[in-house]
Structure formats: C-alpha cells, structure tokens
C-alpha cells in the first residue's frame, strides 16, 4: 500500500480543517492498492467494526455522496454513501475530484 501511495502522488483529500457536518456533496471513493475493496467503518476510528465493503477495481474510483467529516485520533474520516451502502472511510480513500491516476 505504501508503495502505491508514493507512486500515485500521496493519499486522498488532506483538507483537515473541518470536524462538523457538511452539506451533502459529491466525491470519489478511490482504491489504488492491490485489493480493490474499500472498508466502510461503523465509526470514525480504525478500531471500529467494518460495516460494509465497497468493491471497486485497483486504480478505480466510484462516485459517492459525502455526508460528514471529522478528525479522530489525528486521522481525517469521511462519512459517505454509495448505492445502498454507507459508512466512514479514512482520508486515504476519499477524493473531492477524481485523481489523475484513476483508470476509469
């Protein structure tokens, strides 16, 4: 994963100035590692239970709705919905615009 992050120019959105609800807006959930699956957490914590898995392909992005964002333990989390799934993702997977490395 680290190699993929470095090769692709970094992680997701790094704007960490908000810890309050946001107006719903569109964004991209993107995966650049070798699994093609993105975990949606039940809470804004890496120790939370996995609620859902969003299947995508390596280097691919899916259109999502951003509903909230918060910082927990120094990590920026976004609450997103895609299709019938919703949950928290960490900053590594959410992008406000589709990254140039996306293959779709």
Distance of CA 61 to the CA centre of its chain: 10
State the pLDDT confidence band at 9, using cuts at 50, 70 and 90: very low
Q: Can you give the pLDDT at residue 26?
A: 92
Say which residue the tokens 């709705």 belong to. Answer: 65
Section 57-70 average pLDDT: 91
For 2, phi then psi, to 5°, come to -60, -40
CATH dotted code for 2-95: 2.30.30
- Domain boundary assignment for the chain: 2-95
- Partner residues linked to 81 by β-bridges: 65, 86
Render pLDDT for 21-60 as a digit per residue (tens, 0 to 9).
Answer: 567 799 999 988 767 788 899 999 989 999 998 887 888 8
């Amino acid at each position: 994963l680290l190699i993929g992050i470095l090769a692709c120019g970094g992680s997701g959105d790094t704007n960490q100035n908000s810890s309050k609800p946001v107006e719903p807006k569109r964004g991209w959930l993107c995966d650049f590692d070798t699994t093609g699956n993105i975990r949606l957490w039940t809470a804004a914590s890496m120790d939370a239970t996995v609620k859902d898995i969003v299947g995508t392909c390596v280097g691919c992005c899916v259109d999502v709705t951003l509903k909230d964002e918060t910082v927990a333990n120094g990590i920026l989390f976004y609450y997103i919905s895609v299709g019938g799934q919703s949950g928290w993702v960490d900053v590594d997977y959410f992008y406000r615009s589709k990254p140039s490395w996306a293959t779709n």
